């Protein structure tokens, strides 16, 4: 099996700090730029799985880069360059402590909450009698807090503004951008025979302006269904064929793991990791419409370090 990159520890010129997230390692350069490395780590239920997924970082970074470019006319974003298949370099912004989740369909965690009796989803009142994977009349924005550790929590627009997490003016800009980005993503997905089911966006601020930051429309931040067969499967109450990280969550649930006290992480075999890698590559090829070219032949850490150093020297 191909080697997965699960940890980085670089020292770049001007480096002020490094943040190791669940999936990305983010290097602060002179408090002005961020070098964001998409590793091959994978997380679910707020825990990092013990084995990396080959090529996952390359898939995520390249999809995000393409969608950042494809939506740059909608709102400003942080991206400046992609000096390596697993790296994006961009502007350092002050991130808002909320994530903007937008849902076109009742599925995933929203469906699990609905099935448990929840009818108020972040201030959106849901009717009785809805079914799993049912399309909403209009997409719903269901924000969450952005926790430093542990679980993100659902929160309403009114609570965000009342708690001072985001000003009313900035929130309304984020909300407008969120709907426009989701519409664009939906249009692009439809041309590829896919349905953009739900996704999350993160925003930050720099020099008084709101920017789209982090990733966009990747399988880690989004859920896609195949358009072909959606209606028939929905009518029959069958699971949708989907391209997203949800299949990993479902696999963990089937193995009695949701990161609850006393639960034990199931073994991640090489064969399972390879199968997850294949699913990520499948999504790339469907949503991008291009053959995925595996970056190989060199140690990914050595390659990334050389490529980023060259870019920083020549910027």
Please give the angle made by the CA atoms of 53, 55 and 56, to the nearest 5 degrees: 60
- Contacts with 269 (C-beta within 8 Å, 6 or more apart), sequence order: none
Query: What is the b/e burial string over 6-18, where b = at least 16 CB atoms within 10 angstroms of the residue's CB?
Result: bebeeebeeeeeb
pLDDT for the residue 201: 98
Contact 5, 86 (CB under 8 A): yes
Yes or no: is domain 98-244 CATH 3.30.470.20?
Answer: yes
Lookup: tokens for 36: 């964001």
- Domain range summary for the chain, segments of one domain joined by +: 98-244
pLDDT for the residue 132: 97
pLDDT at 282 > cutoff 90: no
- Which residue, among 191, 259, 196, 212, has the nearest Cα to 50 in the 3D structure? 259
pLDDT for the residue 207: 97
For 207-265, how does the pLDDT look when each residue is reduced to its tens digit (9 = 90+)?
999 999 999 999 889 999 999 999 999 999 999 988 778 789 889 999 999 999 999 99
Burial of 73 (0-12, 13-18, 19+ CB in 10 A): exposed
Query: What is the b/e burial string over 274-302, where b = at least 16 CB atoms within 10 angstroms of the residue's CB?
Result: eebbebbbebbeebbeeebeebeeeebbe
Percentage of the chain exceeding pLDDT 90: 86
For 67-119, how does the pLDDT look when each residue is reduced to its tens digit (9 = 90+)?
999 999 999 999 999 999 999 999 999 999 999 999 999 999 999 999 999 99
CA distance 77 to 88: 12
For 19-43, how does the pLDDT look when each residue is reduced to its tens digit (9 = 90+)?
999 899 999 999 999 999 999 999 9
Helices 168-191 and 56-70, packing angle to 10 deg: 110
Which one has a higher pLDDT value, 160 or 148? 160
pLDDT for the residue 249: 87
pLDDT band for position 149 (50/70/90)? low
Give the torsion sign (CA, 67, 72, 77, 79): positive
DSSP 2: P
Question: What's the mean pLDDT when you consider all of the chain?
Answer: 94
Percentage of the chain exceeding pLDDT 70: 98
């Amino acid at each position: 099996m191909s080697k997965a990159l699960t940890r980085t520890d670089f020292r770049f010129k001007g480096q002020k700090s490094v943040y190791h997230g669940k999936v990305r390692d983010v290097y602060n350069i002179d408090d002005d730029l961020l070098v964001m490395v998409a590793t091959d780590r994978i997380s679910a239920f707020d825990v990092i799985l013990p084995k990396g997924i080959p090529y996952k970082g390359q898939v995520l970074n390249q999809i995000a880069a393409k969608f950042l470019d494809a939506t740059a006319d909608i709102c400003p974003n942080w991206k400046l360059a992609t000096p390596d298949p697993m790296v994006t370099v961009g502007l350092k912004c002050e991130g808002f402590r909320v994530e903007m989740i937008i849902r076109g369909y009742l599925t995933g965690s929203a469906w699990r909450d609905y099935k448990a009796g929840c009818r108020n989803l972040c201030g959106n009142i849901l009717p009785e009698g809805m079914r799993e994977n049912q399309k909403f009349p209009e997409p719903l924005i269901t924000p969450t807090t952005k926790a430093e550790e542990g679980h993100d929590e659902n929160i309403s627009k009114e609570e965000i503004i009342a708690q001072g997490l985001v000003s009313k003016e900035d929130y309304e800009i984020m909300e407008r951008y969120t709907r426009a980005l989701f519409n664009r993503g939906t249009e692009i997905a439809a041309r590829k025979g896919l349905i953009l089911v739900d996704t999350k966006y993160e925003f930050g601020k720099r020099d008084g302006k709101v920017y789209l930051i982090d990733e966009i429309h990747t399988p880690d931040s989004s859920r896609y269904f195949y358009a072909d067969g959606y209606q028939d499967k929905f009518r029959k109450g069958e699971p949708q064929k989907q391209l997203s990280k949800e299949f990993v969550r479902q696999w963990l649930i089937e193995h009695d793991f949701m990161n609850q006290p006393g639960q034990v992480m199931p073994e991640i075999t090489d064969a399972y990791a390879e199968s997850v890698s294949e699913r990520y590559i499948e999504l790339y090829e469907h949503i991008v419409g291009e053959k995925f070219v595996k970056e190989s032949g060199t140690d990914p850490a050595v390659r990334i370090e050389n490529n980023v150093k060259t870019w920083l020297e020549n910027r």
